[in-house]
Amino acid sequence: MRPPRVHRLTVADAADRYADMVRAKAATGALAPGTAEVYVRDVLTFAALAGAERVLDDLDGADVDGVLVRFARKPDGRRAGGPAHTGTGARTGARAGVQSAASQARFRRSVSAFFRYAATAGWVQLDPMASVTLRPRERGGLRAERRALTAEQAGGLLDAARELAAAAPRGRADQRTQLRDGLIVLLLVSVGPRVSELTRANVEDFFVNAGVRYWRIFGKGGRTRDVPLPGAVAEVLDAYLASGRRELDRGVEGKALLLSWRGRRLARGDVQGVIDRVLERVEPGRRRGVTPHGLRHTTATHLLAAATDMDAVRRVLGHADLSTLGRYRDELPGELEAAMRVHPLLTGRRTGNGGTRD
């Protein structure tokens, strides 16, 4: 149904009004802050790519097609200048800086939500998304940048992070972030937080209970979860709090756990650069490029592969429903063979007289 009267707003004005609405929903708790940040960033990007001074109602499916193509070719700032990782899933040549399939799908969802709201608000007569001809990329299997690292690859990354944290020098301004970088990778691999949960963490969110270090993570929908940290990770955290963070602190961000070398709270977009720097220290045979979300997949996959209780994994990752784990459970080479070797119905099967059969 068409609105009775269309407000002929420019793309920029419509994007600004939509961004204000999203921020208001986040302020009232109706929308997670991290989700709101993504929506706002995507709609402002859409406005820039579509033409800020154009009238929103004049855009048709072909115009949106053009925006989607331009976004797909837009350099991915998170990976700019990153190392040329070797192994399966490495990006090479012209593909190295473009938007990933996941980013393109997310951008498309954000634009769709924007136009749905625009149609309801009377900014457009018809939703142009209905006539978009470009279709989302078919999955056809797991994307390399989101597939879980193997145990060998994850071990190489963890070893590099521990070595980086242990060897972090003191004094030089450009090297004070090494202890922080090691801590970031250790937290991502061991706990699997969302990148927004990691960058929003404050010093006061980490506490000790019965001699165990815990991280109180503030997740989606206002839910919190207390996750115990492995001992090796807790040691690096304590070292960072005792020295590394103090060297970075400029008194600007009093509560933030992770600080930039300028003393500001670390931004979401900086985390990929941290992972890439640590990956440079991994030997080529164990190195594969990965995103923060790929490390979340890695945590879930290896916890489940080790027969960890599914509900415990759900609580570590902060999911409301067990069914969500299916999206984070990736296949590992050789895991089916390993499972069958220790089949519970065949291994050490007992005979009728109390003995065992080989």
On whether both 92 and 211 belong to a single domain, the answer is no
**Does the annotation count 194 as an active-site position?**
yes
- What gap in Å lies between CA 65 and CA 241, rounded to an integer? 48
Query: Between 267 and 138, whose confidence is greater?
Result: 267
Number of domains observed in the structure of the chain: 2
Supply the pTM of this predicted model: 0.62
Active-site position among 296, 297, 302, 314: 296
On whether both 48 and 194 belong to a single domain, the answer is no
Identify the CA nearest to 105 among candidates 70, 68, 67: 68
Structure tokens at 234: 């807790």
**Does the pLDDT of residue 323 top 80, yes or no?**
no
- What gap in Å lies between CA 328 and CA 297, rounded to an integer? 5
Structure tokens at 105: 């799908």
- What gap in Å lies between CA 161 and CA 237, rounded to an integer? 12
Active-site position among 108, 194, 225, 277: 194
Range of the domain at 103: 11-131
**Does the annotation count 297 as an active-site position?**
no
Query: Between 193 and 89, whose confidence is greater?
Result: 193
On whether both 253 and 302 belong to a single domain, the answer is yes
**Does the annotation count 220 as an active-site position?**
yes
**Does the annotation count 85 as an active-site position?**
no
Q: What is the DSSP annotation of 85-109?
A: --STT---GGGTTSPPHHHHHHHHH
On whether both 92 and 186 belong to a single domain, the answer is no
On whether both 18 and 160 belong to a single domain, the answer is no
On whether both 160 and 125 belong to a single domain, the answer is no
On whether both 243 and 103 belong to a single domain, the answer is no
pLDDT of 82: 47
CB 25 within 8 A of CB 36: yes
Query: Between 177 and 226, whose confidence is greater?
Result: 226
**Does the annotation count 287 as an active-site position?**
no
Query: Between 216 and 138, whose confidence is greater?
Result: 216
**Does the annotation count 79 as an active-site position?**
no
Q: Can you name the residues that pair with 195 across neighbouring β-strands?
A: none
The predicted-structure confidence for 153-186, as pLDDT tens digits, reads as follows: 999 999 999 988 887 665 554 456 888 999 999 9
* Average pLDDT value for the chain: 80
DSSP E strands: which ranges in the chain? 206-209, 212-218, 224-228
CB 282 within 8 A of CB 161: no
